Every structure is written in structure tokens, then in C-alpha cells.
Amino acid sequence: MEHKELRVGLIGAGRMGADHALRLDQRISGVRLAAVADPDLDRAKQVADGTAARAVADPFEIIGDSGVDALVIASPGEVHEPLLLAAIDNDVPVLCEKPLTPDAKSSLRVVEAEEARGKRLVQVGFMRRFDVEYAELKRLLDTGDLGAPLMLHCVHRNAATPPGFTSEMMIYDSVVHEFDTARWLLDSEISAVTVRAPRSSSAAPAGLLDPQIVTIETARGAVVDVEIFVNCGFGYQVRCEAVGEQGTALVGGDSGPVIHRSGQWSGVVTADFRERFGAAFDHEFQRWADAAHQGEVDSAAADVWDGYAAAAACEAGVHAQVSGERTEVELAERPDFYAGG
């Protein structure tokens, strides 16, 4: 790369975009935040303020711009596809927040575009892969220390939902993380999904089916249960217990500091994903930037095929939720281009 620093363009200046801007500006080495794009120009300006970045309203203005070497996409999942296709067309490396796209067909178009380009450019922001505890769980499963995996018990709780959050989004925006986590930890595609729900919490906005229990079957015969509860009220909690033939391991359990005071003990629950996974995001971004600077992709990250496979599982999940039926996942054939990825 000609420039000493990787000049990054950020698309989307909302909750996640603002957090990623801070990360790129202050914590990731070898990068410079060069541009921030958001149709809400005031937001783009606010996020760019105090950095070296320029603010623009049209994201396409910075895709293929000679002053931008790489892109971070943090706009809503519904608008990812055209941005990704334009980035691939312009040969620009991208770190795209999850989901790759909200449905399987559009994700497959991104797979096809990247394959046609003949070069891997896009990584999907499944940050749990960069969390220290999850990485250790992956190691335990890969080395066989727990014996052959049988089940994962997952808990995914958010304190509250933003306005407009729907029951379907609980699958394709939230459980999409567990679809990726299950595929990654168990090294197996997802074959079927079932969704059940108790009565909704009185804290859930009207019409939202919250909580839900999602059961995931994998092609290798493991079963994963996920409690997704996005208006739990008390904080952000993401847990995963793996059960193997010879042992179990839990990540995301309560951790310190544990305070003993006035005849009681207590601890703190993280407020949201930015706090719980802050270090994982930093690690993900540093590795992505280092790889992009070398004209490579990070082999530890989720690629476009992973994003597509998660989207296909989400589509089955949404169908299962609406129909009440166990739904098989329809997956295209994995191109050789992604084999071993």
C-alpha cells in the first residue's frame, strides 16, 4: 500500500458507527479515519468532528474515492447489499457490520459478486470470534478437550430494543450472532431451525414476541438452544455453555469485581454490546486493518460465505417463527473459492 496509514471510510454514523469512529480514531494503530458518510449529514459531521475525517451525506461518494483505502460499513443491514456490491466492484476491502444482509438471496448475490471478482474483500463483523473467552471455547472444542460436542446452551439478552425493532429482527439482527457462533464453534452448517415463544414479557413493546426460544440443529447432529430476550431490562448478557461428551465449558458467566458489602455480595452487568465486547471489537478492527494494509483478509474473521450461511439460517428462523414449524435451511453449494475459509 502506498500510504503509511490505512485511510478508512466509515459508512453509517449511528450507535455503532460512532463507536467504531472512536475506535478507528483513537485505538487502532496504522489507520486514519478519512471520511464519514451518513444520509443524516449532521450525524456524519458530529462523528467526524475532532478527527481528520471529512463528512459526506452520500456513501457512494467515498466508495472508490482515491482518498479512501478501506471501508467500515455500520449502516442498517437493509442497506448493506448495494454498498457491498459497489465496494467489491471498486476493489475496496470492507469490514461490514453484521448482518451481511438480512436475507439469503441478497447475501448470495454478494457471495457471487466477490467470487466473480476473484478476490476476497469483505469480512463480516461477527465480533464474538475475537472475544478472549469465546476464542478459548473454540480452542477447547477444536482440541477435543471437551470430547465430541453435543449441545450449546445460549443466552442472548439485551436491556431494551430501539424503536421499530420487530420479532423478525430478533432472528436476523440478534440470533444471527448465535447462528454464526454455532457454525464457527461446532464447525458445521446449520440444517434446521425451530422457534417457540412463551407469553411475551409485559416490558416488550406491543406486538413484539419477546422472549423467544430458538432451537438450531447442525448437520453434524449437535443441537443448540438459544434464549433471545431483548427487553430483559437489566443489561446485556451473552452466554454460551458447550456440552461435550467429556466436559462442559461456559463463557459469558458473571465475572468480577464481586463486591461484598453490608452483608450482601454483588457485581455489575454490562450495559450493552459496546461494553461487553469492546475489547473484541478492538481486536477485530486491528487485525482487519493490519490485513487490509497488506492487501489481505484476516483468516480468523467471518467471510462472505459465513455471512451468507448465517443469513440462510436466519431466513429459516424467520419462517419457523411465523409458521410455528421446524424449518430446514436451504443452502447453495459452497463455491471452491470459499473452501477452507
Ligand X SMILES: O[C@H]1[C@H](O)[C@@H](O)[C@H](O)[C@@H](O)[C@H]1O
Instruction: Give the residues lining the site for ligand X (CB under 6 A).
Output: 98, 156, 158, 173-174, 177, 230, 273
The residue among 98 and 293 lying less far from ligand X, judged by its C-beta, is 98
Report the C-alpha gap between 88 and 217 in whole angstroms.
Answer: 33
Q: Judged by CB, which is closer to ligand NAD: 41, or 243?
A: 41
97 near ligand NAD (CB under 6 A): yes
- Measured from the CB of residue 30, what is the shortest distance to ligand NAD in angstroms? 22
What residue 285 binds from ligand NAD, ligand X, none (CB within 5 to 8 A, per partner kind)? none
Residue 320 found at the interface with ligand NAD (CB under 6 A): no
DSSP 302: B
Report cis status (omega within 30 of 0) of the bond before 205: no
Non-local (6+) Cβ contacts of 48 within 8 A are 13, 21, 33, 35, 36, 54, 55
Structural contact between residues 304 and 332, judged by C-beta atoms closer than 8 angstroms? no
How far apart CA 232 and CA 123 sit, in angstroms, is 31
Q: How many other CB atoms sit within 10 Å of the CB of residue 60?
A: 15
Tell me which of 24, 31, 38, 104 binds ligand NAD, using CB under 6 A.
38
Closer to ligand NAD at the Cβ: 40 or 142? 40
- Shortest distance, position 97 Cβ to ligand NAD, whole Å: 4
Binding mask 237-276 for ligand NAD (x = CB under 6 A): ------------------------------------x---
What does 19-87 look like in DSSP terms, one character per residue?
A: HHHHHHHHT-TTEEEEEEE-SSHHHHHHHHTTSS-EEES-GGGTTT-TT--EEEE-S-GGGHHHHHHHH
Cell of 179: 447462528
Which of 6, 16, 34, 70 is close enough to bind ligand NAD by CB under 6 A? 16
| Interface positions with ligand NAD (CB under 6 A) | 11-17, 37-40, 43, 59, 74-77, 79, 97-98, 125, 127, 173, 273
